[in-house]
Structure 1
């Protein structure tokens, strides 16, 4: 049984913990440390999860001696990562892989805060983790073994989709695409709602139809991960959908908007790193 030590049980940490308890297909010993949030097991899941053990500590110093983490997952604020690693130093050995979801903290910094291991992974999940549908990507430094990569992938794939990156710089693009991406879809939903209202639909009808359409499109993409095929399927030649798409494609407006949006977020990610 693998021991997973999670530091930070706020919005993201709590979402990851819920995913591990309910969907992770392997037995694990889950240990959570958070001085502010106390995740209660029966609030996280409706029924006890077979094959998994769970314990919570307000202070890292209260973790029983002799426990060694196979993975230390850090879901803290970026400025707290190094102190968090040092706080559980007695539970880190050469077999431990450090995994951080804190934005902007490089793997060199993560590994440098630990004395007993150099294996570090940096991961960017997104808000979809709260509903078990995160789109996550990670970079592992050269010290991470194949078995450690498999463990991290299993953890983060349990609450969504997960991809490995070839280099750490790609995380800036991931931040722009999937990290910030949900907000772009929310903004489009808002804009479509307002446009429908201006054309005469009642506000509640416009909202419900706009939201329902986004949800339906997402579920279709889950089943058929080919947006081009789906777009072509719903578009009849010279029909209403075709007319709307032609308006979006005028002067490559949609492509230019998407490129500008991602570039702005990508560049800001670099500035904040």
Structure 2
């Protein structure tokens, strides 16, 4: 791991988060190289992290044992076709581009390469992300360990055995932060309606969310048991929880997340069509 050269194609927010997490966890910055179309962004990363940079994707992957595809899904085909023929040394490919399957990436790269598809989420930028991983048939156990260590630099990882389950990962953790933000928004507004100031209500809401998440992570107890321990028979919490249940919270959540997963499948079909000419091929 300490000697693998990592090439990041695209120097956007997610690539920057992964590189930052790796360096913070002791990965030698000399073995990290990023390519992108914006010199200023590359120089900022070089100064902040001590990594190497390049403006040529082909140059970046030439000696890399791992290539992280961190470009937008809409331009991934253009980038892959640019790299086709440049990967005879069979590096591990890690894609964080949403919606593009491993078979499609392999076809665009025109190689039988180990490919890991990854679905991270936005809290990854703070090092508390959650990523789902899927590997193709050319990916060895060593490749899996390497991919996991790289993505663990920004949070936790879990492997899925069926690529379609990446859509379930998207519905749970990929899009999940937005659900929590939406519920926090609703709670804060309800607190205001009950008489608290906007600042008071938001502060209490955010801290409560943080505390509940820590309890769920650190207690070892299931969420339903944690919920039960907050509730007292015929008490205030029980009244609120019953109101949520009568309003169909569980059914609505399942419906929303199913719609999210279905849309993921639709986007995968759309994004597998030929790339549009003259698209930006770096970020």
Fold-level match, TM-score > 0.5?
yes
Q: CA deviation at 1:160?
A: 0.7
Q: Which runs of 5+ in 1 are unaligned?
A: 49-53
Moved more, 128-137 or 109-118: 109-118
C-alpha separation between the residues in 2 aligned to 1:116 and 1:3? 20
> Would you say the 8 A contact 2:76–2:97 is kept in 1?
yes
Q: CA deviation at 1:162?
A: 0.3
Q: Residues 59-79 of structure 1, C-alpha deviation per residue, up to 9 Å, x if partnerless? A: 225549xx4222111110112
RMSD after superposition? 2.2
- 1:222 equivalent in alignment to 2:217: yes
Moved more, 85-94 or 259-268: 85-94
SS at match of 1:158: helix
> Would you say the 8 A contact 2:34–2:53 is kept in 1?
yes
Off by >6 Å, runs of 4+ in structure 1: 25-28
C-alpha separation between the residues in 2 aligned to 1:178 and 1:211? 19
Q: Residues 191-250 of structure 1, C-alpha deviation per residue, up to 9 Å, x if partnerless? A: 001111111111110111111111111222231353223222322333222221111112
- 1:153 equivalent in alignment to 2:153: no
> Would you say the 8 A contact 1:4–1:70 is kept in 2?
yes
> Would you say the 8 A contact 1:107–1:121 is kept in 2?
yes
Match runs of 1:74-93 below 5 Å: 74-89=69-84, 92-93=87-88
C-alpha separation between the residues in 2 aligned to 1:257 and 1:131? 29
**1:233 aligned partner:** 229
> Would you say the 8 A contact 1:96–1:117 is kept in 2?
no
Q: CA deviation at 1:113?
A: 2.2
Q: Residues 35-66 of structure 1, C-alpha deviation per residue, up to 9 Å, x if partnerless? A: 1231424435xxx7xxxxx21112225549xx
Change (3 A) 1:127 1:158: same
Paired residues, number = 262
Asked which structure has the greater RCO (Cα within 8 Å, sep 6+), the reply is: 2
> Would you say the 8 A contact 1:92–1:117 is kept in 2?
no
**2:94 aligned partner:** 99
Relative to the length of structure 1, the TM-score reads 0.88
Q: CA deviation at 1:172?
A: 1.2
C-alpha separation between the residues in 2 aligned to 1:216 and 1:25? 31
> Would you say the 8 A contact 1:112–1:118 is kept in 2?
no
C-alpha separation between the residues in 2 aligned to 1:181 and 1:208? 21
1:178 to 173, 176, 183: 173
**1:40 aligned partner:** 45
